[in-house]
Structure 1
């Protein structure tokens, strides 16, 4: 197993939850400490409180990956006679870094809102509130016919050729490639100074722009040539839409009362607030982790029977009820699902890389609310 530093861990994390997905002005990234040191243990937390900082110290943690940024509003001072000041003091004194992934983790495909939708068993789902689109490009690479399968497999494994529910989609046509190796060349085929004509395959596959660097690297590693010929073209096709929340369908219709109980159980909520007729049937569900007040109109616009989100305001609830939208509010804290999911995902990714690092979900429950 290889040792790993904080930079390497965060680089892997940002492959599936890149900063560019975050909402404008969000306080994401490294907030406390430094990443250029060895990391053996990583704590995954929803919030970073004084209690969480003590937990990190007890578990010999060098890095915390948190969902909610511990420094969200500008600090006028750092007083160690306050809970926030003591938290920062513990982390700084013991060189425990804190990296925050907030709305970028909300938006990411396979991120927090998909985990919530998975827990609710939603099918045929799509983004609730689009915030952007990943442009599509096409890779065209030329290679000896006998090496075409290896290259197609390599670029497919790197993410090229994903179309809807299909993977490893590509097109290949054969032709003749011509080249003349120079004096300093070390040709895989042919001789220095001699014009060669080789039977080659032209391999084409589309890919989302965000994987371009990794894709080209995978292609070059699989290609036998010293200097492969390849092209990358921008496409006018619509790319993958990303954004906040998800909307989809329950496997079976149920009453709002039954659905509210279901939400409480699967999202491990202490209680839920419900807006609407408890006996009304629901099937199409919108879900948005955290505070979803300003996005309830998107749930209405997309025909949701019920909207699952947290922190609903009184007047927003009245407006939603008057417009016929049922709401189940299990609280903001259901985002705690990220502790287990990030732990599992990062542990798997780092294992594939051969890194000697442990990921630990925080056992501290930071929900400030109690239900009596």
Structure 2
């Protein structure tokens, strides 16, 4: 399958027209590779490290969730990370394509994969955007789980370096309804409360958002941005493999680069 054919398939599934007004989905860099057989490196964020990896693996397309370019560029200077990525992309003929908020909404997108990992049933979007699609997912657990068991399942599937949670006042001993949203989902707390969810798995939550959730009777669980979105990248690799691409792989240089201090560490 050629790169142009792959992108057509992607855009029929996750239409860039569905993106938010502030977003920048679609081609970030297209250095004339559309007619080439697709050799794809999938990642969460198209960093300089990922570009270097793509060069070493002879990939010709980096397919990323996060855009390389969010704001209009005023200049490209040697030594700037984006400038270096652009320079290497053109020198080595590697395209960079992004599916971001359009990918969040679809089947097998960021939220859908989290719901599947937790084995949620009767799943619906937290905020519907079009028929059957939308931001976040909410569903039921059969049977219900204790908070401790739910946290263990999240830790097992997502392996976050740090798992933060805040229990609601008088939280239920058996949790039967859970909402999920990959990436920064704190702005959806009010929408989640309306779904009747007892617990909400997302990331990038601030202190006062934990406090708000506690006061509104919602157990808020923050597993980190990387951990809540990386599983969807893995699923994307599987979908691309089903298309019989010449080559596709999940990036090994696309990592959560933060360090978490633990008492007793050097």
TM-score, with structure 1 as normaliser: 0.66
Mapped partners of 1:304, 1:40: distance in 2 = 41
1:114 is displaced (CA, Å) by 1.0
Per-residue displacement from partner, 1:83-130 (whole Å, max 9, x unpaired)?
332222212221110010001111012322111110111111111111
User: 3-state DSSP class of the match of 1:298?
Assistant: helix
Query: 1:22·1:107 contact (CA, 8 Å) conserved in 2?
Result: no
* Matched positions, count: 257
Per-residue displacement from partner, 1:205-226 (whole Å, max 9, x unpaired)?
xxxxxxxxxxxxxxxxxxxxxx
Report the equivalent of 2:138: 247
Mapped partners of 1:287, 1:40: distance in 2 = 32
Could you tell me which of 14, 19, 41 is aligned with 1:17? 14
Higher strand share: 1
Mapped partners of 2:143, 2:86: distance in 1 = 48
Report the equivalent of 1:338: 232
Report the equivalent of 1:184: none
Report the equivalent of 1:214: none
Q: Which runs of 5+ in 1 are unaligned?
A: 134-239
User: 3-state DSSP class of the match of 1:342?
Assistant: helix
Pairing 1:291–2:180 present: no
User: 3-state DSSP class of the match of 1:23?
Assistant: coil
User: 3-state DSSP class of the match of 1:24?
Assistant: coil
Pairing 1:8–2:24 present: no
Per-residue displacement from partner, 1:284-309 (whole Å, max 9, x unpaired)?
00000110011011111111000000
Change (3 A) 1:365 1:97: closer
Per-residue displacement from partner, 1:298-323 (whole Å, max 9, x unpaired)?
11111100000010012122111111
User: 3-state DSSP class of the match of 2:132?
Assistant: strand
Report the equivalent of 1:258: 149
User: 3-state DSSP class of the match of 2:72?
Assistant: coil
Query: 2:126·2:191 contact (CA, 8 Å) conserved in 1?
Result: yes
Q: How does 1:115-264 map to 2 (within 5 A)?
A: 115-131=113-129, 133=130, 240-264=131-155
Which 4+ stretches in 1 moved above 6 angstroms? none
Could you tell me which of 233, 257, 262 is aligned with 1:368? 257
User: 3-state DSSP class of the match of 1:90?
Assistant: helix
Q: How does 1:19-58 map to 2 (within 5 A)?
A: 19-34=16-31, 35-58=33-56
Could you tell me which of 205, 212, 218 is aligned with 1:312? 205
User: 3-state DSSP class of the match of 2:240?
Assistant: helix
From the CA coordinates, give the structure whose radius of gyration is larger: 1
Report the equivalent of 1:75: 73
After the TM superposition, which of the residue ranges 299-308 and 9-18 deviates more from structure 2? 9-18
Q: Which runs of 5+ in 2 are unaligned?
A: 262-266
Pairing 1:109–2:3 present: no
Report the equivalent of 1:85: 83
User: 3-state DSSP class of the match of 1:340?
Assistant: helix
Query: 2:62·2:97 contact (CA, 8 Å) conserved in 1?
Result: yes
Query: 2:3·2:38 contact (CA, 8 Å) conserved in 1?
Result: no
Report the equivalent of 1:269: 160
TM-score, with structure 2 as normaliser: 0.91
Per-residue displacement from partner, 1:22-54 (whole Å, max 9, x unpaired)?
223320000112442313411111001110000
Mapped partners of 1:72, 1:264: distance in 2 = 31
Report the equivalent of 2:216: 323
Per-residue displacement from partner, 1:145-194 (whole Å, max 9, x unpaired)?
xxxxxxxxxxxxxxxxxxxxxxxxxxxxxxxxxxxxxxxxxxxxxxxxxx
